[in-house]
Amino acid sequence: MSVAFSDTARAEFERLLTRYPDREAVILPVLHLAQREFGFVSDEAIVYVAGLLGVSPAKINGVATFYTMYNRKPVGKYHVQICRNISCSLLGAEHLIGHVAGKLGVKPGGTTPDGKFTLSQVECLGSCGTAPVMQVNDDYYENLTEASIDAILDKLA
């Protein structure tokens, strides 16, 4: 199944091209755009982006699989990403991941049957001073506790 940007995304793509020095430099923001547009970075999206930028699909695939912020599989309406790197780990990230897994009834990498939540363990989210940290879609939540996570997820549910 082939994919294509909407007119709005296509205009954004054209704007991005003017802001970066070459086609390779613009790969990251275009992959973000593709993820926003298509929900995740599918194989079809990789071929499409490669065609738009005139670079090989292998190159685009390499970038998309290297960075954890690109979802190569569909995710739920809310993508709950909990950092498990050193600062968060020292402050109980593994415990919190287990807590969320139990609350949602999914293992890390899984999506709830209603498609509402996907749980992921990720590397440093760049907010180590306020660990433990999680990102839900575009929002950051910091200094997490079991209680604060429960309140956040209950509100989203």
> 147 to each of 86, 100, 144, how far by Cα in Å?
22, 11, 8
The verdict on 127 binding ligand FES (CB under 6 A) reads: yes
Site stretch for ligand FES (CB under 6 A), options 57-65, 66-74, 106-114, 127-135? 127-135
Q: How far is the CB of 99 from ligand FES (least distance, A)?
A: 16
Give the residue with the Cβ less far from ligand FES, 44 or 142. Answer: 142
The verdict on 135 binding ligand FES (CB under 6 A) reads: no
CA dist., res. 53 & res. 58, Å (int): 13
Binding mask 84-123 for ligand FES (x = CB under 6 A): -xxxx-----------------------------------
Give the residue with the Cβ less far from ligand FES, 104 or 133. Answer: 133
The verdict on 82 binding ligand FES (CB under 6 A) reads: no
> Which residue in 97, 95, 155 sits closest to 122, CA to CA?
97
CA dist., res. 70 & res. 144, Å (int): 24
The verdict on 134 binding ligand FES (CB under 6 A) reads: no
Nearest 5°: the CA angle 137, 140, 146 is 105
Q: Which residue has the tokens 């950051």?
A: 140
